[in-house]
Chain A
């Protein structure tokens, strides 16, 4: 069996997900989304487009609805009105199994990291490669080794999340989000509890694809330290259900 390059492996699994969406569409767009409890005035709709290769952060209070944006982008929840489009596909409208397949194009870091507690950090990182791709066992091992190295997780690879510290868990969750080297990464509260330096380091790693190009990153936060603000292309404040552009 001939060895495949990482480019060939990526192209093979990506091909399964290209059936939906358009090649010229932005990675992520929220169109007329109602973030409040019930539909009200049309002026209070959330519109935002995340262009390829840019890092966009939505910031807002806990009750602003900013925490719902990640779930809407992944199709994990449905908006009261409006729609979320990922690579041009209305993600909320896809049938369940198509949706599962399509989500492999998106890296996702849920709030609270969402690591599986009965797996080691290494196995958590390997999970999407093993179950959501056609990687061979040796290819999975190579990719996981590379991610453990990049995210400085080698020393703690055998620990379960409950045995590791918060920063290592966050690193593992980020590494897992990047396992399939996606073009779009959605991060929910990714820097909570981290130092500014650790947050900077993680955002730098997340925003670059394996081939060195910038990937689209969309993060939702309640607070952002100045050093990380400087790395962001667009900062959007969620206020009154609308998107207000702020200076990073």
Chain B
């Protein structure tokens, strides 16, 4: 019995210590922003633009495709079922609540994690193993400034932008799903616009910031925590991505609680 309690305690303490480490890491990344030199700002901006190009621009095709398919499937099926009950007006609630508010941000964040989260974790772990992080510190350069900060800002901007793309495509392809059941564009637009509120806009922005931070923070933390050598890199990538996915789902649930409050 004592051994079981001790094991649970050890596991809990380990998780708490990782959380503490993450909090310190996040704080370090934000504090780094205040220490950027004049010339450093330009380089950080260049890294940031590269990060946005890779994370957002190169992912637009995939996000558009998935948003179109998902919305088309959900709306066409829902309109058909609601039509039988004579409650097609509820389609607006389904689009806004299920697709725009919940599934859109979640799927967008998962797409970015699978593409960029893995890349960030692998890159950071390689930087650590190759001695590049030590070289940066020896030159007097804060690794947060050079490695973490631009990726974090890039991920936040990218996730928020991709969510907007997802929402736009989902609304458009949702119409085609509804049109299959004979719904006219004017009616579809009226239903959707009546259901959409300013709260949905703010929630999208807030989720973009939170999910974007998670996409950069967890993979960076686990990537830079590598110590032994190249064999640890795949493990760091797995840890980083799994932690990000868990964090995104938990924060998504928290958003529901906060939005309901």
Contacts and interface: CB of A to CB of B under 8 A. Distances in A.
A132 B141 contact: yes
A114 B135 contact: yes
Interface string B123-146: 100110011101111111110011
Interface stretch (A39-47, A53-61, A98-106): A98-106
Given A100-B141, A103-B139, A130 B134 contact: no
Nearest to A101: B140
A103 B37 CA distance: 16
B145 A131 contact: yes
A133 B41 CA distance: 12
A176 B139 contact: yes
A149 interface: no
B140 A112 contact: no
- Which of the listed residues A129, A130, A137 has the most CB atoms from chain B within 10 Å of its own CB? A130
Given A114-B131, A114-B132, A132-B37, A137 B138 contact: no
A117 interface: yes
B149 to A, nearest CB: 11
Interface string B105-132: 0000000000000000001001100111
A99 to B, nearest CB: 8
A128 B134 contact: no
Range class of the B interface residue count? 20 to 34
Contacts of B42: 130, 137
A96 B131 CA distance: 18
B18 interface: no
B141 A127 contact: yes
A159 interface: no
B43 interface: yes
Given A114-B132, A131-B43, A131-B146, A108 B37 contact: no
Contacts of A88: none
A74 interface: yes
A22 interface: no
A178 B44 CA distance: 23
Interface string B32-50: 0001011110110000000
Contact of B132 (A97, A100, A116): A116
A65 B134 CA distance: 19
Contact of A131 (B40, B126, B132, B138): B40
B227 to A, nearest CB: 14
Interface in A192-210: none
A18 interface: no
Contacts of B39: 129-131, 133-137, 140
Interface string B2-44: 0000000000000000000000000000000001011110110
B55 to A, nearest CB: 16
Contacts of A103: 137-140
Contacts of B126: 117
A132 B138 contact: no
A248 interface: no
- Which of the listed residues A112, A131, A176 has the most CB atoms from chain B within 10 Å of its own CB? A131
Contacts of B132: 114-117
Contacts of B127: 116
A80 interface: no
B59 to A, nearest CB: 20
Contact of A100 (B131, B135, B140): B140
A135 B167 CA distance: 44
A129 B37 CA distance: 10
7 tightest Cβ-Cβ pairs between the two chains A and B: A114-B135, A104-B140, A103-B140, A132-B140, A130-B39, A108-B138, A131-B141
Given A103-B138, A114-B138, A130-B39, 12 more contacts: A100-B140, A100-B141, A108-B139, A114-B131, A114-B132, A128-B140, A129-B39, A130-B42, A130-B43, A131-B40, A132-B140, A136-B39
29 contacts: A74-B138, A97-B35, A100-B137, A102-B140, A103-B138, A103-B139, A103-B140, A110-B138, A114-B134, A114-B135, A114-B138, A116-B135, A116-B136, A117-B126, A117-B132, A118-B123, A127-B136, A128-B139, A130-B40, A131-B40, A131-B139, A131-B142, A132-B37, A132-B140, A134-B39, A135-B37, A136-B38, A137-B42, A176-B139
